[in-house]
Amino acid sequence: MKNLVILIVFLSLSVLSIAQSGSQASTSDGKSTKLPKPNKVWVFLLAGQSNMAGRGVVEAQDTLIDPRIFSINAQGEVIFAKEPLHFYEPNLVGLDCGLSFGKALLPYIPKKVSILILPTAVGGSSIGQWLGDSIHRKVKLWSNFLEKVAIGKKYGQIKGILWHQGESDANDKNSPLYPENLARLLQNFRTAVGNPQLPVLMGELGAYSQNPEQWKKINQLIWAHAAKDLFTSVISTQDLQHKGDKIHFDSAGQRVIGQRFAEAYLAKF
C-alpha cells in the first residue's frame, strides 16, 4: 500500500511538471525538447507560391538548428527548424527564406521568446486559388492555411505573415484583378488570425524574369497596396539573382530575403 501511494504521488508530480514546462516538440531525429509557454512563442506564417516555398539549394549552414527557432513537419508536429521547411511538394523542396528570417530576428527580440515558423506556400499557386480555397498540387490552399493558423494559436502568438507571390498572376488575364484580390486576401489573413492590424510582409518579384514587364506590373501593384495599408511592408529583391531558371531565387538570394523580411519587421512593427 505504501509503495502504491509513493507511485501515485510520483506520477502526479510528473504530470504537473510537464504541464508547467510548456508543450513538447520533437526534433527530426526523434529526440524531444520543451517548448516555451504560448506567451513566449512568436509565430510567423510563410505563404505564397514557389519563391516562398523555396527552390534554392539547401547547404550545411541551412540545416544548423537554433534551440529558439521551431517549425513543423508534415504531420503537424513541432520540431526544431531546419531547411527545407516546406514539405508540400516532395520532388521540389528547397531552401526558402524562413530560417534566415528567424535567425536574423532573434538578436532583437526578448531573450526568453522563441520563434515558430509555419510553412503554407505551394508552388505555382495564383492569388485567386488562395481566395477560392482551390486544391493545388494536392493541397487545399486556404484550408491548409487555416489549419496552420490553428497550430500557431495553440503554441504561441501569431505576429505576422510573410507573403511572396505573383508570378502566376503576371499576365494580362490576372494582373487587372490583382489589386482587389490582394486586398481581399490580406483582409482574410487578418480575419483568420483575429487581428485587423496583423503585419503582412511582402516581397517583390525578381528582376531577372523573361517576362519583365508583367513582373514589374505586379511589383507596382504590391507597392501600391502597401502605400494604402499601414500594416504591410515590402522588401526589394531587384539586386538578387536566380538559380539559373529565371524564375526562382538562388540560395544566397533566399537568405538575403529572410534577412530583409526581418529588418522590415523590426523597422516597422
Question: Structural domain boundaries of the chain?
Answer: 23-268
Statement: residue 4 has pLDDT above 50: no
Write the DSSP assignment of 57-88 as a string of letters.
PP-GGGG---TTEEEE-TTS-EEE--S----S
**Widest pairwise Cα distance in the chain:** 81
Nearest 10 degrees: Cα torsion 83, 87, 88, 90: 100
Q: How confident is the model at residue 24 (pLDDT cuts 50, 70, 90)?
A: low
Q: Are 224 and 164 in contact (CB under 8 A)?
A: no
Statement: residue 13 has pLDDT above 50: no
Q: Which helix (H) or strand (E) is 149 found in, with range?
A: helix 141-155
Angle, CA of 251, 26 and 12, to the nearest 5°: 160
In this prediction, residue 207 carries a pLDDT of 97
Statement: residue 205 has pLDDT above 90: yes
Render pLDDT for 98-128 as a digit per residue (tens, 0 to 9).
Answer: 999 999 999 999 999 999 999 999 999 999 9
CA 34/CA 3 separation, integer angstroms: 30
Average of per-residue pLDDT across 215-241: 98
CA 105/CA 259 separation, integer angstroms: 8
Average of per-residue pLDDT across 253-263: 98
In this prediction, residue 35 carries a pLDDT of 78
Q: Are 148 and 191 in contact (CB under 8 A)?
A: no
Superfamily, domain 23-268? SGNH hydrolase (3.40.50.1110)
Statement: residue 23 has pLDDT above 70: no
- Average model confidence (pLDDT) for the chain? 91
Render pLDDT for 29-88 as a digit per residue (tens, 0 to 9).
Answer: 544 567 789 999 999 999 999 999 999 999 999 999 999 999 999 999 999 999 999 999
